[in-house]
Amino acid sequence: MTILSPRDAARIDHYAAIADTDGWLHPVQQALIHHRGWLRMLAPRAVGGEERPLPDVVRLEEAIARVDGSVGWTVTLCAGAGWFAGFLPPHLARAILSTPRACLAGSGAPTGHADRDGDGWRIEGEWDYASGAPMATHFTFNAYLRADGHPLLDAAGQPRIQAFVVPREIVEIVPRWRSIGLRATASHAYRIRGAWIHADHGFVIDPDAAREQGPLYRFPFLPFAFVTLAANVAGMAYHFVDLARACIARRRNRFGGQNELLIEVPAVRAVLDGASSRLDDVRGRFYALLDATWADVVAGAPVADGQAAQMQALAQEWVAASRHAVDTLYPYCGLVAASADSAVNRVWRDFHTASQHALLLPQN
């Protein structure tokens, strides 16, 4: 089965530069995302989602990011928020997914409070970086829980944090996304000022708390986040390598005495081939582990701590290989790579924005 059709890839690519300039996905890109059901692909089938196998989703997200980072990132973050439907009460999940052009956006940082108020919560807070905010019909966030003005504590005596999902109507978008890259994700901030929501809108992201029993909802959150984010960053890196190869194939080595093309210089060719080989090597091991772990989960086994740690390590290794490839090849691309209007510069900017995600910090 084709992961991303050439026609869909061409549509995404055709509008990438326009979307980058405009600071939001082009309507054609948005329509394609909804038409293909990409924002529902991780939501439970029982409540209106598609519940696709995780390895298929990760490969698709990588393929989209290899065409355009902003579309790939928006699909990944919003589809990931759609995954939360497996942890919601079914009636609420079904209502959310029945919304026309349903899209969930949000943030994981606990930068708000939820005060107990009757059979619900009163929400106050502001959150950053909601990729896809302009098309979101619902927002998710984490908040500290309080009662009578005092923090609620967990069994270890720490302040309790809970995830919530709310309709767009009670959210105010704060348009302050000014990043150098991923401009078309429109990852704006958002705030809620004293709105009341029913307790049903709170949920816990844990396999033991899942409302749906499919393998997607038995997959722990951190490995899920690492594999989806790493695949995006690697997709952008592959795109950069492709564009860098084209730049190197056109540039001449003015100081080599023969005025030959840079790609004909053995040392340059070795750098290019080495960066590509390193990416491919980690990619092969990454998907081999993801496929094997997914097969175990489908068979009913939990994700062991060792498997989760290995997936995190491989995800970070793939990101490290991606950073190495992009930063090593950039100097060979010439001034076109520094031109804000060039595709290679846009991909460079997107890559260096996406790889700043907190989960992807270098570990050594």
Query: What confidence tens digit (pLDDT) does each residue in 33-87 have?
Result: 999 999 999 999 999 999 999 999 999 999 999 999 999 999 999 999 999 999 9
| pLDDT, mean of residues 247-270 | 83
| pLDDT for 363 | 74
Domain ranges of the chain: 6-97, 104-209, 219-360
Q: How far is it, in rounded angstroms, from Cα 86 to Cα 83?
A: 6
Whether 142 has a pLDDT exceeding 50, the answer reads yes
- pLDDT of 237 strictly over 60: yes
The predicted model gives 276-288 an average pLDDT of 98
pLDDT of residue 129: 97
**In the predicted model, what is the mean pLDDT of the chain?**
96
Token pair of 240, please? 């950069």
330 confidence band (pLDDT: 50, 70, 90): very high
pLDDT given at position 364: 65
Q: What percent of the chain has pLDDT over 70?
A: 98
pLDDT computed for residue 362 by the predictor: 83
Q: For 354-364, how does the pLDDT look when each residue is reduced to its tens digit (9 = 90+)?
A: 999 999 988 76
Q: What is the pLDDT of residue 258?
A: 65
Question: What is the pLDDT at residue 210?
Answer: 96
Stronger pLDDT, 21 or 253, i.e. the higher one? 21
Give the CA distances from residue 113 to residues 103, 124, 131, 318, 328, in Å, rounded to whole numbers and listed in that order: 23, 5, 21, 36, 44
122 backbone dihedrals φ, ψ, rounded to 5°: -105, 125
Instruction: Give the contacts of 253 (CB within 8 A, at least 6 positions apart).
Output: 259, 260, 261, 262, 264, 265, 268
- Amino acid 262: pLDDT: 87
Confidence of residue 1 (pLDDT cuts 50, 70, 90): very low
pLDDT reading at 257 higher than 70: no
For domain 219-360, say whether CATH 1.20.140.10 is its number: yes
Check residue 3 and give its pLDDT.
Answer: 87
Three-class SS state of 212: coil
One-letter identity of residue 27 = P
pLDDT at 42: 98
Express as a percent the part of the chain with pLDDT over 90: 93
Least confident of 97-111, 126-140, 259-273: 259-273
CATH 2.40.110.10 fits 104-209, yes or no: yes
DSSP string, 223-278: HHHHHHHHHHHHHHHHHHHHHHHHHHHH-B-TTSSS--BGGGSHHHHHHHHHHHHH
Q: In this structure, which topology does domain 6-97 adopt according to CATH? A: Butyryl-Coa Dehydrogenase, subunit A; domain 1 (1.10.540)
pLDDT surpassing 90 at residue 166: yes
Q: Which pTM was predicted?
A: 0.96
